[in-house]
Structure 1
Amino acid sequence: MKKLLLLFLLSSSTAYAQRNFTIDETVFGPSKFAPKTIYGIQWAKNMDVFTHLDQSYQQLIARSAKENWSEKVIANADDLKAALNKVITTEKFTLRGFPSSYKWVDTDHIKFQLPTEKTLFDITYNTKTKSAMVTKSIPNGLTNAELNTHTAYLVGSNIEILTAEGQKIQVTKDTMDGIVNGSDYTHRQEFGIHKGMWWSPNGKQLLYYRKDETMVTKYPLPQWDARVATVNYIRYPMAGMKSEEVTLVVFNTETQSYTTLKTGEPKEQYLTSVTWDPNNEFVYVGVLNRGQDHLKLNQYNAKTGDFVKTLFEEKSSTWVEPQHELIFLPNAKNQFLYQTDKDGFNQLYLYNTDGKLIKHLGYQEVIVEDFKGFNGAGTKAYYVGATNKGLERHLYEVEIKSGKTTQLTKTNGVHNATVSPTGKYVLDQYSNLTTPNKIQVLETKNSQSKSIFEAENPFAGQINLPKIEFKEFLSPDGKTPLNARITYPANFDPTQKYPVMVYLYGGSHAQLVTDRWLGGVGYFDLYMAQNGYLVFTLDNRGSDARGRDFTRVTHRNLGEAEMADQLVGFDYLKSLPYVDKENMGIFGWSYGGYMTTSLMTKHNATFKAAVAGGPVIDWKYYEVMYGERYMDTPQENPEGYKKTSLLDKVDRLKGNLLVIHGAQDPVVVQQHSMDFIEQCIKKGIQVDYFLYPSHEHNVRGKDRVHMYDKIAKYFDLHLKK
């Protein structure tokens, strides 16, 4: 095992007048103590100039490379309000400051949206002449609005269009329960799905999902808000059961005709990575089989719906997981970037529309996380990628023709950066364990930097913060490094012994340990450390930002490799002289709740107390899209489902377990925990249970304070002497 990577004492634990967090601040602290920053920061068009709001949010500031990035006021809220009063005369509006959501249209004009009680206005403002113009107005509050020449939105499960001329077109008129149009909640938002409607580039055709879930089992969620309880039914396809059937339809606003893409059989498949061709003629769709191990990227004729060709296929012995739409090159409409981890790490691949792979644009083991666009000439692309074993995020530049890649940010930490229109400068915002927030400009040729803004420690002189430390361990496979974090008790004394709280998640698409401000630690973790606990977190195999093989090891046996990795960390904790190994607790939510309950049953000698929130108990109760990716179906993998189920393992439970669940949970339905409790009763095993009647998968708002208070008191009751 490797030792300490980084150690930082955030503030003196003995400083005068400093205090611990209140229980309310475990929830509201992140906004109360957020490091200061600059809002509305972005590059202007076609110039090495960036703009942002001042600290009062009243002025728009420009900074130019020619003037060594000094400040210059180019617009203010008073002038903007005066201009708006001339063009918005029928409704009252509120403008408390210059809008931070503005976007540059050209060198003089910005655009932004201004909501009123009834209307959402699209505004273009000339910063030179101080004049405004309303370019579009639509009713405020439209659901899932997609704006182009016309505006598409949802009314219930149907689509309407408000044309540029103000006319309404009712696109779909389905009244049958279970037919849903245009929803982003298609395939339960797996596969990177974040929208359910796409305008063609010319704004004349609307492509949308049509989801038929009439055959999917209705699942009851009891409602407690009436004298006689009622039932809300949701469509919930459990693993191995009937799933939804989805098609893609093109609506032509000029002819008001419909074309369904002929995506073929079987009907239980997933339609992903949906992308319009830049010429409005074709639609590209990633067609993924229900088994999620075979993807075809297909091209369809938007006018006829006919299948044109399969550009390429991707197969895996575990799973294929498309997450992104295609990105067409700005200066080559027959070429696009495709993202996949098929060679080990999610990276960029350049294809043409014939399906020919032109070049792999990946770099080392860097994982592409956020594509940032192209330079003005379209010859280079930029992205933020995960590196340093997933701990850091940096900005990379790749030359499309040669594939040459350059890392543009160097300071350790998590960066969010963009490149100027000329490509000469990088506008970089980052944090790390020792840096709350820093904004700087870098020169791409020599990496010279100019500091623009640096936030002070928001806790200094106020909050008694503990010491935070990164650790690295080696997985039981003998070759895979694992990142971990220790938050030490306040006023830590290595000659004393302290109880432990382990906080974990462990599932896919999540990462808890990163080199960002506070190391990614949560405020409840800090609260517990301030109250005398050593808090430990480890990202096991299966979690995010480490590549294909790090994730795929969990296939068909969720929880097994994850627990083996966590045990490495627990063994380390028990070896420390200042750890009270007789008083260790563990807490996790969702997948973390599954991990917590698994460890309390399958490895029951470590923890004296545990809290499992919204836990998966048996994967046969979980939904198709997520569950079958990792476990296949119960029919295909009966051994795996039996091994990972906790229903027949309650008699192994030792220690004190509190299970918490939201009664309205549509993700991990309450049946998981209720069946577990029922088995505990039958086996004579005592367990604690608490229900939040009105909450879904996560307990939010003020009630979350109540939840954290309950968890803290539960650990205090069982772990403090």
Structure 2
Amino acid sequence: MKKGVILASILLFIIGCKENSETTSTLITGNKEITLEEIWDGTFSPERMNSLNSMNGDFYSLLNTDKETKATTVDKYSYKTLEKVETIVSSADLKDLDGFSSYSFNNDETKIILGTDFEKIYRHSYKGTFYGYDIASKKLTLIGKGIQEPVFSPDNKKVAYAKDNNLFIKDFSKNKITQVTKDGKKNSIINGITDWVYEEEFAFVRAFEWSNNSKYLAFLRFDETNVPTFSMDIVGNDLYPKQQVFKYPKAGEKNADVTLHMYAVSSKNSKKISLGDYEYIPRIKWSNDDNILVATTLNRHQNDLKLHTVNASNNNAKVLLNETDKAYVDITDNLTFLDDNSFIWTSEKDGYNHIYHYNSAGKLINQVTKGNWEVTNYYGFNKDKNTIYYQSVENGSTNRGVYSIGLDGKNKKLLTNENGQSSAAFSNNLNYFISTFSSSEIPPIYSLYSGEGEMLKVIKDNAKLKENLSEYKMSPKEFSTININGNDLNMWMIKPADFDESKKYPMLMFQYSGPGSQQVANRWNGSNDYWHNMLAQKGMVVVCVDGRGTGLKGADFKKVTQKELGKYEVEDQIAAAKKLAERTYIDEDNIGIWGWSYGGFMSTNCLLKGSDIFTTAIAVAPVTSWRFYDSVYTERYMQTPQENASGYDDNSPINYADKLEGNYLLVHGTGDDNVHVQNSYRMINALVEANKQFDMFIVPDRTHGIYKGKNTRLNLYTKMTNYIEENLNKKSDKSIEIKG
């Protein structure tokens, strides 16, 4: 098919979707076979936009590499035209810096922090060498080496940063460094940077914030002295392995003692802030009042959240808002203060995640969004238009659209496509946004929109990828629902392109199933989707069912698994497999299941507890007992093992090893700092003690994603493909021939 025809059909789809929710697109099937090499060498990767940084006014910036000089540049673009306005800085003009790989502006965009020589710490954290660059004078100044999270003060005179577990402030005007804290010590005291569990589960690293007037620096201090230590041997290439040692609070164990502190820049004094009884401080944020910080606290069960206002001038704190839940309260970054210090907040308190408006005293003004659907992203508030922008699943839980709505809850408007998944990257002033749209049959399309929802220009369409894929033998995902245990569960199915209903096919189920997650979504393919399609074209039916406990269908549906992780989710997968096995084209004797992480926990349990239907399972990096996982995630859903021993043990696959009857492949990386290989080792021991035969694939030094190193993912998926070929295709009419 000609590229022009494909592009025209894509554009027609975009426009038509807003008027006709029934509009669909059909996957064109060619003759080429998908190979594992192609999946992992980027053949099917869509073109993506560089991560853009919204600037003041109608502008954004991109980090680019000059094709001729190979210099790194920060370039400024116009939202109106999408054309480059200027190059703000180029590494070719910096004699002391060969290149840089990160940048951040100060508030008025007169200065930039440039970063290089990064060294990864955990999933989100890293340290590196950072410089300050003055745009007007073109002066480059070293901030520090081996530092973390440097950020300008709002008055542009200073930069605060962390190094070796302490906080520092560099004053550019005086070329002077002030050490804010001095008690930082590895595996003991951390100032201004989160510990492992906060970084992983509360998803932030920088735990310090400048006040708007630059007079104060609020920060968190972590005392992890009494937190139990976890260690891993890193084999590497040396004669002797090295040890990675870090503090990791497992469920029911001691957490770090976290406290809030206020540093006054002028007096150079820090004061500890009293916030009453709490276990966690998952967020701190300054309000629009220069002296008022808002700190979020949670109890250990995470079902009692408080917003505290802290007056920096006298360090007094009082409760602004208190929200409780029978299960847990989610942490988000949606707290937004308006000019009058009223604030926008998202909550599940009516059973679905919605947007609320409170006054400055914490009293409810109104609920902005309402309905039996979920707000999935909050983008911001345009004060000039008194309008909120958000993303939701109003058009079905597998779709996501971008909307605008008045602060009073009126004049709601869909700004993007009705079907498929749309997300938005707004300009700072919210006058424009760049939409990323995709569906299961339309690759990512990046388009420029006005804040009113007018599509102005297609930026990238991935028409070439669509054209290339037309040469391959592929099948579309068939979306439907399946009624299991009294619930209509979202499902997709991939059948062979030459599907014959009179024949029998082995079935492979894929799931994740973790609380609030979603795998059945109307979005473009990821790597696993191509692998699933490859298996389908070799003679399998591949299915994914989102059972109870998954997200975007209301709090009751999501939180039904509370205190029983692995009970209802496993029941749903087993019941779904049995119901699907009643279909004439499914070989009831050859049904497998696989998953990664939580999905590995699930696939293991399904094979053990559902041995009458599942014959094969692959578990990659699985949790095998929630007693081994971190405190914040696990206790959010399970409380502590001391309080809920049966919930932990009744659903732990370790305790059901003697029930193994089918084929079981266990995969884990020994460098996994998240789901420790201890989980698999304990499962292996249980299987050995039960005298059960199984297969395992232990990958040295790889972390939770099992991707680092040459051919790591290709090797893993070759292993899994061969395992499926050998064990899930014994009695079916069609045999699976695996290539590449």
Asked if the contact 1:210–1:249 (Cα under 8 Å) also holds between the matched residues in 2, the reply is yes
- Cα drift, residue 688 of structure 1: 1.7
Residue among 557, 561, 571 paired with 1:550: 557
The secondary structure found in structure 1 opposite 2:402 is strand
Equivalent residues in 2 for 1:112-127, closer than 5 Å: 120-122=131-133, 124=135
Once the two structures are TM-superposed, the CA of residue 287 in structure 1 deviates from its matched residue by 1.6
Do 1:35 and 1:457's aligned partners in 2 also have CA atoms closer than 8 Å?
no
Q: Secondary structure at the match of 1:460?
A: helix
Q: Secondary structure at the match of 1:580?
A: strand
Alpha-carbon distance change, 441 to 613 in structure 1, aligned in 2, over 3 angstroms: closer
Query: Could you give the per-residue CA deviations for residues 133-186 of structure 1, whole angstroms, max 9, x where no partner exists?
Result: 458763476322233332222222222222233322222222544212222336
**252, 257, 260: which is aligned to 1:245?**
257
Q: Percent identity?
A: 28
1:339 aligns with 2:339: no
Contact 1:398/1:404 (CA < 8 Å) preserved in 2? Answer: yes
Deviations 1:591-648 (CA, angstroms, capped at 9, x unpaired): 1011011101111122222111111112222221111111111222222223112222
1:199: which partner in 2? 210
Q: Residue deviations 1:4-59, cap 9 Å, x none?
A: x9986533133xxx3422x2333343xx4333355577888656x88999999899
Structure 2 residue runs of 5 or longer lacking an equivalent are 1-21, 69-74, 118-128, 731-740
2:663 corresponds to 1:656? yes
- Partner of 2:654, secondary structure, is coil
**Over aligned residues, Cα RMSD in angstroms?**
3.5
CA shift, 1:579, in A, is 2.6
**For 1:509-568, what per-residue CA distance to the aligned partner results, in whole angstroms no more than 9, with x for missing partners?**
432222122389533323333443322112222223333112110011111221232234
* Deviation string, structure 1 residues 109-155 (Cα, Å, up to 9, x no partner): 89866557765354648xxxxxx845876347632223333222222
Please state whether the residue corresponding to 2:726 is helix, strand or coil: helix
Whichever residue aligns with residue 288 of structure 2, its letter is P
- Answering whether residue 695 of structure 2 is matched by residue 694 of structure 1, we say no
Whether 1:718 and 2:718 are equivalent positions in the alignment is no
Structure 2 length as normaliser, TM-score? Answer: 0.83
8 Å CA contact 1:363, 1:405 repeated in 2: no
Equivalent of 2:422 in 409, 415, 421? 415
1:255 counterpart = 2:267: yes
Residues 115 and 121 in structure 1, CA contact (< 8 A), matched pair in contact too = no
2:168 paired with 1:160: yes
Aligned: 1:320 with 2:332: no
2:195 paired residue number:
185
The equivalent position to 1:377 in structure 2, one of 372, 380, 384, is 384
Give secondary structure in 2 for the equivalent of 1:467. coil
| SS across alignment from 2:525 | helix
Report whether the alignment pairs 1:27 with 2:40.
yes
Q: What does residue 475 of structure 2 align with?
A: 467
2:223 counterpart (205, 208, 212): 212
Q: CA deviation at 1:588?
A: 0.8
Deviations 1:337-371 (A, max 9, x none): 11221222222211122111111112323433332
Say if 1:250 and 1:51 are closer, same or farther in 2 by CA, change over 3 A: closer
Q: Judge conservation of contact 2:196–2:247 (CA < 8 Å) in 1.
A: no
Q: Residue 516 of structure 1 corresponds to which residue in structure 2?
A: 523
CA contact (8 A) 1:441 1:452 kept: yes
Give the 3 Å change call, closer, same or farther, for CA 653–668 of structure 1 in structure 2. Answer: same
Residue of structure 2 equivalent to 1:170:
179
**What is the CA deviation profile of residues 480-531 of structure 1, one whole-angstrom value per residue up to 9, with x for unaligned ones?**
4322222223544444433222221100243222212238953332333344
User: Cα offset for 1:452?
Assistant: 5.2
Partner of 1:128 in structure 2?
Answer: none
Deviation at 1:415, TM superposition (A): 1.1
Counting matched residue pairs gives 683
Code of the residue aligned with 2:281 in structure 1: it is: L
Question: How far apart, in 1, do the equivalents of 2:110 and 2:461 lie?
Answer: 27
Report the more deviating stretch, 564-573 or 413-422: 413-422
Q: Secondary structure at the match of 1:640?
A: helix
One-letter amino acid matched to 1:347: H
CA, structure 1 residues 320+208, in 2 after alignment: closer, same or farther (shift >3 Å)? same
CA distance in 2, matches of 1:6, 1:717: 41
Question: Do the aligned partners of 1:40 and 1:100 also contact (CA within 8 Å) in 2?
Answer: no
CA pair 325-525 structure 1, distance change in 2 beyond 3 A: same
Q: Tell me, in whole angstroms, the C-alpha distance in 2 between the residues paired with 1:366 and 1:605.
A: 37
Q: What's the CA shift for 1:187?
A: 4.3
1:443, CA displacement in angstroms? 6.4
* Distance in 2, Cα, partners of 1:337 & 1:692: 46
Cα distance in 1 for residues equivalent to 2:673 and 2:63: 40
Residues 395-449 of structure 1 deviation map (CA, whole Å, 9 limit, x = unaligned): 1212114554322223311112356788776653311123213344556768677
Which position in structure 1 is the counterpart of 2:13? none
Say which of 434, 438, 452 aligns to 1:431: 438
Distance in 2 (alpha carbons) for counterparts of 1:240 and 1:42: 41
Distance 1:193 1:38, change over 3 A: closer
8 A contact 1:120–1:140 mirrored in 2: no
The whole-number CA distance in structure 1 between the counterparts of 2:531 and 2:703 is: 20
TM-score (norm 1): 0.85
Q: Match of 1:502?
A: 509
Quick check: 1:232 aligned with 2:235? no
SS at match of 1:649: helix
Structure 1 position 561 matched with structure 2 position 542? no
Q: Is the 8 A contact 1:114 1:123 kept in 2?
A: no
1:554-703 equivalences in 2 (<5 Å): 554-701=561-708, 702-703=711-712
Instruction: Tell me how far apart the structure 1 counterparts of residues 293 and 191 of structure 2 sit (CA, whole Å).
Output: 18
Pairwise CA distance, 1:236:
2.2
**Larger displacement relative to structure 2 (679-688 or 570-579):** 570-579
Query: Where does the alignment leave 5 or more consecutive residues of structure 1 unmatched?
Result: 126-131
| Closer/same/farther in 2, CA of residues 517 and 557 from structure 1, 3 Å limit | same
Letter of the 2:629 counterpart: Y
Match of 2:72 in 1: none
Distance 1:113 1:490, change over 3 A: farther
- State yes or no: 1:36 paired with 2:47: yes
CA deviation after TM superposition for structure 1 residue 467, in Å: 0.8
Contact 1:464–1:530 (Cα < 8 Å) also in 2: no
| CA deviation string 1:450-494 (max 9, x = no partner) | 65553315153465242122333245352x432222222354444
Residues 152 and 366 (structure 1), Cα distance of their counterparts in 2 relative to 1, 3 Å cut: farther
- C-alpha distance in 1 between matches for 2:313 and 2:361: 19
Letter in 2 for 1:471: F
Rounded to whole Å, the distance in 2 between the matches of 1:228 and 1:36 is: 43
Counterpart pick for 1:708 among 709, 714, 717? 717
How far apart are residue 280 of structure 1 and its match? 2.5
Residue 375 of structure 2 is aligned to residue 361 of structure 1: no
Whole-Å separation in 2 of the counterparts to 1:353 and 1:675: 52
1:262 to 1:490, Cα distance in 2 relative to 1, 3 A: same
Could you give the per-residue CA deviations for residues 194-218 of structure 1, whole angstroms, max 9, x where no partner exists? 5322222223322222111111112
CA distance in 2, matches of 1:230, 1:429: 43
Indicate conservation of the 8 Å contact 2:563/2:644, yes or no: yes
**Structure 2 vs 1, CA of residues 324 and 313 (structure 1 numbering), >3 Å: closer, same or farther?**
same
User: Which stretch of structure 1 is more off in the superposition, 51-60 or 379-388?
Assistant: 51-60
